[in-house]
Amino acid sequence: MNTFCRNHKSYAAIRTISSISVAAALDPPFQEHGRVLVTRSSFIQNLQTLVINCADQRRIRQGQSCHAQILHFRLQSDAITSNILINLYSKCGRIEYAVKVFDEMRVKTDVSWNTLIGGYTRIGGSNESLNLFIKMLREGNGITEFALSSVLCVCASKILSFESLQLHAFAIKTSMESNAFVGTALLDVYAKCGFVGDASKAFESLPEKNDVTWSSMMAGFVQNERHEEALKLFLTAQRNTVEINAYSISSFLSACAALAALIEGKQMHGVVFKIGFGANQFVAASLVDVYAKCGSIKDSYAAFCTADEKNVVLWNTMVSGFARHARPFEAMILFEKMQQMLYKPNEVTYVSILSACAHMGLSEKGRKYFNMMETEHNLSPNVFHYACMVDILGRTGRIDEARDLIATMPFDATASIWGSLLASCRVYGNVEVAEVAARELFEMEPNNAGNHVLLSNIYAANRRWEDVASARKLLKESEAKKERGKSWIEIKDKVHSFMVGERAHPRINEIYSRLDGLFEEMAELGFKGEIEHDLHDVDESYKRELLKHHSEKLAFTFGLMCLPSCAPVRIMKNLRICGDCHEFMKIASALTGREIVVRDNNRFHHFRDGRCSCGEFW
Ligand code: ZN
Ligand code: ZN
């Protein structure tokens, strides 16, 4: 008790309490050696302050000691004291004790109900929270904005859209809709349930918005992949002089990461530096993430190193950054180091470390980590870990082993698992397993033309022309649509996007003629183009023409035209980079002396001096 209280305002209070005898406590005012020590009411007040402090600091043991004192002096019938105890147990996650105090109360006040609902919300007890809310209504208790927003929060965390609608109706009926807490909880629940339009409406209709309201809306946009809107909202908030908080910074950085908007990310880093949110662990992790996802692993690691306090999320973000950038050895070193610093790897860490092994085809290391999960950290591999393992085996040519692993998995394989197996079959020309994987994929993703393309490519590489023809026929009949390729590049804080065969960009003619010039120079270095990577029912010369104008080639050429000569060219693409573009970027990096970074929907490729960091695995 003394250690706890040493630096505490209530130190004096507890010293006083412990020096009072039981008998004296019940006979106010308390006397000792003829001197008034403390009155009964101030004794109760001191004890209550102490419990409140215990709750704020999540000190369950000390809080329980106070509870013992309360029982000892028979002060439990006081409603305020009971509410404070409910709050203590709710905040410390011991909801069962909170319920016990609640049930033993002779008079239950509105505050007691609200506090208990808040407690259930904190532990994510959606049913209990909702049931208590309904009971509270039935018994005619006054519902506060706090209780309503609490129940909405728990609905948001469990994505309960139907219940949320009912609660929204209730909010309208009781005119609580425009309350800042309720309105914020409403927009949050809509965003989490995927109704971002409704979230936006709830946001707009709020007469008074605080910084939490603004940051919740930004987070809502990010969760629903409306990243540009999140960035815009941040700027609007700035214009309205809304206070910046850690959540809004974090959302802004997540949006930058998703859009690979390095310039905005850097600007925000400057802001963080200036206003001092660097110590916040959410912000630190977002900074590490934004640099990693924007292709700048050096800056990412620098942000990681300067973070004052590191938690598991931050370590995981950095391990995943190295994995993404095909730096498996750095990822492994960090994995060891985090354990030396007594941070326990969790499921997320293992996904990252396994994917680091997968990207570089390190099968033995992968197997080691996969086994370590259970033996050293008592974690059962989930579907993502199995997916990584299938990927590792497939990439290293152990196609049959990969297929066997899928067969013994404790759950059904996902489309991405079959997809990675199919991609490995393409690299190793394994038609037999490719057909198995493709059959599964056609059923799971009937609209994904990419699977038909892959299977057809595998047949073509094995010169099975009849099968190629039937695969194409199947594709036509299946109505599967191939998503159109699209690439982005950021030039002077403006994002330029290019579709395959782009026509609309204002400088497109210039881009095509520069690209033609590049092809001529590259032809001298032996670049011919790999037409089998594209599946179009057209003749070869036209096919070559289509390949030439893939979106990443256009984005790259535009980057060459606009960026300073020493700057790396960073491109983002919505689909996997094709073999032809991959070859193109390798040769272009040698020809122009540029570093080229392509982030496709699967991974990063760093091209430098004619080589790619992926080692041909993608
Ligand atoms: Zn391409
Ligand atoms: Zn590559």
Residue 214's contacts (CB-CB under 8 Å, 6 or more residues apart) are 233, 237, 242, 248
What is the distance in A from the centroid of ligand 2 to the CA of 348? 24
In terms of Cβ atoms closer than 10 Å to its own Cβ (0-12, 13-18, 19+), residue 435 is middle
Instruction: Give the number of whichever ligand sits closest to the CA of residue 326.
Output: 2
205, 214, 228, 235, 377 from 232: Cα distances, Å: 18, 12, 6, 5, 43
What is the distance in A from the centroid of ligand 2 to the CA of 579? 9
What is the distance in A from the centroid of ligand 2 to the CA of 172? 55
DSSP state at residue 59: -
What is the distance in A from the centroid of ligand 1 to the CA of 70? 73
Instruction: Give the number of whichever ligand sits closest to the CA of residue 554.
Output: 1
The predicted-structure confidence for 323-368, as pLDDT tens digits, reads as follows 988 899 999 999 999 999 999 999 999 999 999 998 788 999 999 9
Within 10 Å of residue 291's Cβ, how many Cβ atoms? 26
Same domain, 399 and 365: no
3-class state of residue 52 by DSSP: helix
The predicted-structure confidence for 556-567, as pLDDT tens digits, reads as follows 999 999 999 888
The residue among 413, 411, 405, 377 whose CA lies nearest residue 389 is 405
* pLDDT of 458 higher than 80: yes
What is the distance in A from the centroid of ligand 2 to the CA of 509? 28
The predicted-structure confidence for 156-181, as pLDDT tens digits, reads as follows 877 777 888 888 888 888 888 888 88
Instruction: Give the number of whichever ligand sits closest to the CA of residue 552.
Output: 1
- Structure tokens belonging to residue 63: 């809080």
The predicted-structure confidence for 592-612, as pLDDT tens digits, reads as follows 999 999 988 777 888 989 988
Contact 205, 187 (CB under 8 A): no
* pLDDT of 478 higher than 90: no
- Structure tokens belonging to residue 464: 């099975």
Instruction: Give the number of whichever ligand sits closest to the CA of residue 551.
Output: 1
pLDDT of residue 35: 55
Q: Cα–Cα distance between 123 and 259 in angstroms, integer?
A: 34
What is the distance in A from the centroid of ligand 2 to the CA of 104? 66
Find the domain containing 603 and state its range: 488-612
In a domain, 557, yes or no: yes
Phi, psi of 575 (to 5 degrees): -120, 175
Range in 136-140, 235-239, 446-450 with the lowest mean pLDDT: 446-450
Using the 3D structure, point to which of 381, 415, 440 is the last residue of a domain. Answer: 381
Range in 94-98, 322-326, 451-455 with the lowest mean pLDDT: 451-455
Same domain, 28 and 87: yes
Q: Cα–Cα distance between 368 and 364 in angstroms, integer?
A: 6
Quote the mean pLDDT of the chain. 85
* pLDDT of 524 higher than 80: yes
What is the distance in A from the centroid of ligand 1 to the CA of 461? 18
In a domain, 507, yes or no: yes
Contact 143, 155 (CB under 8 A): no
pLDDT-derived band at 108 (thresholds 50, 70, 90) equals confident
Q: Cα–Cα distance between 301 and 321 in angstroms, integer?
A: 9
Instruction: Give the number of whichever ligand sits closest to the CA of residue 600.
Output: 2
Using the 3D structure, point to which of 349, 381, 413 is the last residue of a domain. Answer: 381
What is the distance in A from the centroid of ligand 1 to the CA of 575? 9
Residue 448's contacts (CB-CB under 8 Å, 6 or more residues apart) are 415, 441, 480
Q: Cα–Cα distance between 397 and 616 in angstroms, integer?
A: 13
Task: Give the mean pLDDT of 232-253.
Answer: 93
Same domain, 498 and 608: yes
pLDDT of residue 532: 53
Same domain, 55 and 77: yes
Same domain, 460 and 497: no
In a domain, 24, yes or no: yes
Same domain, 320 and 338: yes
* pLDDT of 539 higher than 80: no
The predicted-structure confidence for 416-447, as pLDDT tens digits, reads as follows 899 889 888 988 889 999 999 999 988 888 77
What is the distance in A from the centroid of ligand 1 to the CA of 60? 59
What is the distance in A from the centroid of ligand 2 to the CA of 358? 14
Instruction: Give the number of whichever ligand sits closest to the CA of residue 498.
Output: 1
Using the 3D structure, point to which of 72, 107, 142 is the last residue of a domain. Answer: 107
Same domain, 559 and 602: yes
pLDDT-derived band at 617 (thresholds 50, 70, 90) equals low
What is the distance in A from the centroid of ligand 1 to the CA of 578? 4
In a domain, 568, yes or no: yes
The residue among 281, 265, 208 whose CA lies nearest residue 242 is 208
Same domain, 16 and 4: yes
Name the domain count of the chain.
Answer: 4
What is the distance in A from the centroid of ligand 2 to the CA of 330? 19
What is the distance in A from the centroid of ligand 2 to the CA of 569? 15
For the chain, percent of residues with pLDDT exceeding 70: 90
Instruction: Give the number of whichever ligand sits closest to the CA of residue 603.
Output: 2
What is the distance in A from the centroid of ligand 2 to the CA of 444? 28
Task: Give the mean pLDDT of 21-32.
Answer: 42
Residue 354's contacts (CB-CB under 8 Å, 6 or more residues apart) are 366, 369, 370, 385, 388, 389, 392
What is the distance in A from the centroid of ligand 1 to the CA of 581? 4
What is the distance in A from the centroid of ligand 1 to the CA of 552? 7
What is the distance in A from the centroid of ligand 2 to the CA of 609? 13
What is the distance in A from the centroid of ligand 2 to the CA of 553? 14
Ion ligand 1: residues, CB within 5 A, are 550, 578, 581
Task: Give the mean pLDDT of 98-115.
Answer: 85
In a domain, 244, yes or no: no
What is the distance in A from the centroid of ligand 1 to the CA of 549? 8
Q: What angle do CA 42, 47, 48 make, to 5 degrees?
A: 95
* pLDDT of 10 higher than 50: no
Same domain, 19 and 36: yes
What is the distance in A from the centroid of ligand 2 to the CA of 352? 19
pLDDT of residue 542: 64
Instruction: Give the number of whichever ligand sits closest to the CA of residue 615.
Output: 2
Rounded to the nearest 10°, the torsion over CA 71, 76, 81, 83 is 110
Q: Specify the pTM.
A: 0.70
The predicted-structure confidence for 262-276, as pLDDT tens digits, reads as follows 889 999 999 998 888
In a domain, 234, yes or no: no
Same domain, 445 and 341: no
* pLDDT of 38 higher than 80: no
Instruction: Give the number of whichever ligand sits closest to the CA of residue 596.
Output: 2
Task: Give the mean pLDDT of 121-128.
Answer: 81
What is the distance in A from the centroid of ligand 1 to the CA of 504? 19
In a domain, 227, yes or no: no
pLDDT-derived band at 370 (thresholds 50, 70, 90) equals very high
Phi, psi of 225 (to 5 degrees): 55, 30
Same domain, 459 and 552: no
pLDDT of residue 531: 54
Edge-to-edge strand order for the sheet containing 611-612? Answer: 494-499, 486-491, 569-573, 596-599, 604-608, 611-612
In a domain, 82, yes or no: yes
What is the distance in A from the centroid of ligand 2 to the CA of 345? 29
CATH number for the domain spanning 412: value is 1.25.40.10
What is the distance in A from the centroid of ligand 1 to the CA of 530? 9
- Structure tokens belonging to residue 440: 């599964």
* pLDDT of 37 higher than 70: no
What is the distance in A from the centroid of ligand 2 to the CA of 607? 7
Same domain, 460 and 541: no
